[in-house]
Amino acid sequence: MFDKVLIANRGEIALRIQRACRELGVKTVAVHSTADNDAMHVRLADESVCIGPPKPADSYLNIPALIAACEITGADAIHPGYGFLSENARFADICSEHGIKFIGPSAEHIRLMGDKIAAKETVKKLGIPVVPGSDGEVKTEAEALKVAEETGYPVLIKAAAGGGGRGMKVAATAEALPHAFATARAESKAAFGDDAMYMEKYLGQPRHIEVQVLGDGKGHAIHLGERDCSLQRRHQKVLEEAPSPALNNSQRAEIGGIVSKAIAEMHYEGAGTVEFLYENGEFFFIEMNTRVQVEHPITEMITGINIVAEQIRIAADVPMRLKQEDIRFTGHSIECRINAEHPTNFMPCPGRINNIHPPGGFGVRFDSGVYSGYFIPPYYDSLIGKLIVHGLNRNECLMRLRRSLDEFVIDGVETTIPLFRELATHPEIIDGVYNIHWLEKYLDNLA
């Protein structure tokens, strides 16, 4: 096991990783910007290093500062968390060049999955179902028209460097395609400095369902079931649940088996998430994330597996003891992302939290880095914390969620808690009948 891990992140995920390290007997190094001098992740770490000014590019993304912090403190590994440098293959390479273990998959796997065309081609060969569309890159408008003719309209033009919805355009007809292709390509060039494009059949009403995996990098991998993350706004997840209300046990075992077999064959190392669109009983791969995700706790709640501890153990080359037959799914879990934002227009609302009283009790978890008197700085995302509840079944989970939201007090900043109170009592949410467009339509109807 490692002696000391440097956590290259902030906020709730930095604390989450610290807690896993503590339980494994591993010392922790926090890094922070000058805006985070009073942050909880700094206070609770064994050591801390200030790595720069507030702007992420100067601190949490500052690779030389992070490597120097490792060398000064003698840390033997870096956990990148999510966001920031977590899916930066060059950073993973630099870590290994300095003899620092990057807690995550190989730089090659990060690079591969970062290229959405290469990722799709790879997983397709390994037996994962993908969205019908172009065979790799589409280089010209003429080629785009030909692909669309074959797959049928509407089609979606996507950026190889994309993800998160940028550089993506729908074309409903052949007349609309040239403009959609040109603007998607221009957007992609501007956003990523790369204009390699590919095309897919546009799915109209899918759910977003993602499968959590763990691999040992040597040919063994398991899945931990799925999460339904369909409730999103502008490609930001708002509420997630596990298991998906749309799947039964045999569908779960089938897609989980396909995914874990592919991940094992790739010799994938660490935690990963394979994302699908799910429509009319069929799964279609869209992307793979090579990091721990914000919503990982709901999978922990229904499996009892500490995903972050498993990441660290795998990276430290501890033999993976978990086998698929050891994984039991128990009950239901829901996560609400409590943001410092206006509950209906989502304007960020940084500032001082005068008082916070999170809910507690049986089946309730609040992962957060804030405290009463904490000042939420304006430089980073507006996540205050994640409310995660577990119940023996979905109904019990929803009852517990409503009870927890009723207990929650946050004074000083506006939060998204009122939105969650509405969602937790909405008949369509209670029935579990929603897709990727449900939340935006709901919010449009309010306005």
Stretch touching ligand MV4 by CB under 6 A, among 106-114, 202-210, 359-367, 393-401 = 202-210
Cα(326)–Cα(303) distance, integer angstroms: 10
Binding of ligand MV4 by 438 (CB under 6 A): no
Residue 193 CB, nearest distance to ligand MV4 (Å)? Answer: 19
Stretch touching ligand MV4 by CB under 6 A, among 179-187, 200-208, 321-329, 334-342 = 200-208
Per CB under 6 A, the list member of 138, 177, 203, 336 interacting with ligand MV4 is: 203
Per CB under 6 A, the list member of 60, 181, 202, 374 interacting with ligand MV4 is: 202
Residue type, 199: M
Comparison of 167 and 256: residue with beta carbon closer to ligand MV4: 167
The DSSP bridge partners found for residue 127 are none
Is residue 351 within 8 Å of 340, Cβ to Cβ?
yes
Cα(443)–Cα(343) distance, integer angstroms: 10
Stretch touching ligand MV4 by CB under 6 A, among 47-55, 199-207, 297-305, 351-359 = 199-207
Footprint of ligand MV4 on residues 324-383 (CB under 6 A)?
none
Integer-rounded Cα Rg, in Å, for the chain is 22
Per CB under 6 A, the list member of 147, 209, 286, 294 interacting with ligand MV4 is: 286
Binding of ligand MV4 by 134 (CB under 6 A): no
Residue 70 CB, nearest distance to ligand MV4 (Å)? Answer: 32
Binding of ligand MV4 by 436 (CB under 6 A): yes
Comparison of 209 and 266: residue with beta carbon closer to ligand MV4: 209
Please state, as a whole number, how many other Cβ atoms lie within 10 Å of the Cβ of residue 289. Answer: 18
Cα(230)–Cα(206) distance, integer angstroms: 8
291 noted as active-site residue: yes
Per CB under 6 A, the list member of 36, 210, 287, 310 interacting with ligand MV4 is: 287
Residue 240 CB, nearest distance to ligand MV4 (Å)? Answer: 11
Footprint of ligand MV4 on residues 254-273 (CB under 6 A)?
none
Q: Which residue matches tokens 């992307």?
A: 287
Is residue 107 within 8 Å of 217, Cβ to Cβ?
no
Residue 404 CB, nearest distance to ligand MV4 (Å)? Answer: 25
Binding of ligand MV4 by 111 (CB under 6 A): no
Residue 232 CB, nearest distance to ligand MV4 (Å)? Answer: 5
Binding of ligand MV4 by 290 (CB under 6 A): no
CA distances from 306 to 69, 78, 92, 273 (A): 27, 18, 23, 15
Stretch touching ligand MV4 by CB under 6 A, among 180-188, 201-209, 365-373, 381-389 = 201-209
| 52 Cβ contact partners less than 8 Å away, ≥ 6 residues apart | 33, 34, 58, 59, 62, 65
Maximum CA pair distance of the chain?
Answer: 62
Residue 200 CB, nearest distance to ligand MV4 (Å)? Answer: 4
Long-range contacts of 225-230 (CB under 8 A, 24+ apart): 225/252, 225/256, 225/299, 225/302, 225/303, 225/327, 225/329, 226/252, 226/255, 226/256, 227/295, 227/298, 227/299, 229/295, 230/434, 230/435, 230/436, 230/438, 230/439
The DSSP bridge partners found for residue 290 are none
Stretch touching ligand MV4 by CB under 6 A, among 141-149, 198-206, 215-223, 304-312 = 198-206
Is residue 338 within 8 Å of 383, Cβ to Cβ?
yes
Give the residue numbers marked as catalytic: 291
Rule CB under 6 A: which residues touch ligand MV4? 131, 156, 163-165, 200-203, 208, 232, 235, 277, 286-287, 436
